[in-house]
Amino acid sequence: MNVLITGASRGIGKATATAYAAEGATLFLCARNEVALYNTVAELQTKYPNSTIKAKAFDLSIKEEAQKFGQWVLSFGCPDIVVNNAGQFLPGNISTEEEGILEHTIAANLYSAYHLTRAVIGKMIEAKKGHVFNICSIASLQAYKNGGSYSVSKFALMGFSKNLREELKPHNIKVTAVYPGAVMTDSWAGFDNSAGRIMEADDIAKMILAASKLSPQAVVEDIILRPQLGDL
C-alpha cells in the first residue's frame, strides 16, 4: 500500500504517517522543513522497520513545488492513499489582517491540495482505485471568532473535496473530507492540555486509517471530530 502524506513532519500528518508505518505501508512524505521531515523518517524507520519510508522537502504552497512532489512520488509508483494535510493556521479578522494573508493562506491550505492531487490523480484513475483525504477543519463548516482567511481557505477546501468526490466516483476513487476541531498540534502550542480538554493528533490518524480500510463499495464522505466537551 502506497500512502502519500503532506505536512508529515508534525501534528496530524506525523500521526497519520505513524499509523500507516505501523501497518507496514510504503510512505511518501513531504514537509517544508527538511530537518524535521528527515528526523521524522529516521524515527519512524527505526520504530517500524517493516515500513518503507521515502521523503522529500517541498513547499506545496508553490504550484511548481506541488507538481514536482507529485511527479517524484509517481516515479516510484501510484499512490493508493493521498492525505492532503499540509496547511497553515494564521488567526485574524478579515477587516484587519495584514495585506496578502488571504493569498498566502489560500495557497497553503487549498492550492497545495489542488495541485498535488492533479499531479497524481491521472495515474490513480488509470489504476481505478484510491482514496483521497483532505484535512479540512471545523472552520470549514461554520464561521468562528478570529477565523479570518483561515476559515475562508478551509471552506474552499471543503468545496474542493465535494467536487472532487463527485468527479471521481465513476473511477472507483474515494474522497473523504476530515473536519477536526481543536487538536493538540503547533496551532495550540503553549496550551495546557493536562486535563485532556482538546484532542490528540493520534485521534485523527486513527479515524483516517479506519476509513481507508472499508470495503471498496463503502466510503466515509465526511469525518467530523470535536473535543468531547465541545469546541473552544
Q: In this predicted model, what pLDDT tens digit does every residue of 101-135 receive, in sequence order?
A: 999 999 999 999 999 999 999 999 999 999 999 99
Contact 77, 120 (CB under 8 A): no
- Look at residue 151 in the predicted model and tell me its pLDDT: 96
| Percent of the chain clearing pLDDT 90 (strictly above) | 89
In the chain, the percentage of residues whose pLDDT exceeds 70 is 100
Which CATH superfamily includes the segment(s) 2-225?
NAD(P)-binding Rossmann-like Domain (3.40.50.720)
Mean pLDDT across the chain, nearest whole number? 96
- Per-residue pLDDT of 20-55, as tens digits, reads 999 999 999 999 999 999 999 999 999 999 999 999
How many CA atoms does the CB half-sphere of 231 hold within 13 Å?
Answer: 13
The three-state secondary structure class of 33 is coil
- The residue-averaged pLDDT of 10-15 equals 96
- Cut 0.85: pTM above it: yes
| Catalytic residue check, 179 | no
Joined together, the cell numbers standing for residue 17 give: 504517517
User: Tens digit of pLDDT for each residue in 143-198?
Assistant: 888 899 999 999 999 999 999 999 999 999 999 999 999 998 877 777 888 888 89
Choose the catalytic residue: 20, 114, 150, 179. Answer: 150
40 with 9: CB under 8 angstroms?
yes
